[in-house]
Amino acid sequence: RSYDQGDSWERISDFGTGATLRAMSLSQTDTNFIYAANNTYLYSSTNAGAEWNNIYTSRNEIMALQAHPTAPEKVLVALGGYDSEMKVLEISKTKIKNLTYNLPNCPVNAIVYDSTSKQTYVGTDLGMFALADGSQAWTILGNGLPPIIVNDIKLSASTGYLYAATFGRGLWRLKIRDNHSVVPEIYAIGKTSFCSGDSVEVRVKDYPAGYKLKWSTGDTARSIIVKSAGLVYAALSDSAGLVRS
């Protein structure tokens, strides 16, 4: 660990003689949470490296880690090797969830979770794959990238681009979300205070093509008729699943 931009360093772990650190991930929301992997051993610290615990031992080499961006006690693990049943894990304290599902039987070299689009992305020896929260089916990510070895992936939060570094085929990028998504503007045609039995029309102003509209009532039309008191809102989602309401 360095406090002076790398001029000096202090050691904050002792994983044993000859232990090579393979992967590390620091929580974005609580920097007390650090995850580190030494070949097949996964360690965690909840006090900024003062103490470490072995929270998981894998039968395959741990290739990459991703501390969950909004839940610091949770970490995503990418596994190498050719074990068809163990490719991606989600570990939260003592709970282990297997997210391998239908991934091809090849090493998973890199992993990223995007809390905005609610998607997990992995780079494998056969290209890129994505998994939506709640889904049990990985899909091939994007078009144009051949089924090649992806060694590393990084998400640019400021641009919405996902970058993939490949073995021998250069650097690729894919726009996975629009950071400039449109916020819906709504207005009422008529009074918003009315007596029982009356109603008011609520409408969304014009918005660009390519967005999907959905009201809190479940309706998808440009306008709705409100007949009772309460909160009404509209949401617009773009092609990457980013929602603004």
Task: Please classify residue 155 by burial: count the beta carbons closer than 10 Å to its beta carbon, then call 0-12 exposed, 13-18 middle and 19+ buried.
Answer: buried
**To 10 degrees, the CA torsion angle through 110, 113, 119, 125?**
0
> How confident is the model at residue 239, as a pLDDT?
58
Kindly report each contact of residues 130-133 with a partner whose C-beta sits within 8 Å and lies 24 or more positions away, as own/partner: 131/88, 131/99, 131/101, 132/241
Q: Are 2 and 8 in contact (CB under 8 A)?
A: yes
Three-state DSSP string of 41-78: EEEEECCCCCCCEEEEECCCCEEEEEECCCCCCEEEEE
pLDDT in tens, the chain (245 residues): 999 989 999 999 888 767 788 999 999 889 999 999 998 999 999 999 999 999 999 999 999 999 998 899 999 999 999 999 999 999 998 899 999 999 999 999 999 999 878 899 999 999 999 999 999 999 999 888 999 999 999 998 778 899 999 999 999 999 987 655 567 888 888 888 888 888 999 999 887 777 888 898 899 999 999 988 888 888 887 655 556 66
The two tokens of residue 18 are: 């000859």
> How confident is the model at residue 231, as a pLDDT?
85
> How confident is the model at residue 20, as a pLDDT?
84
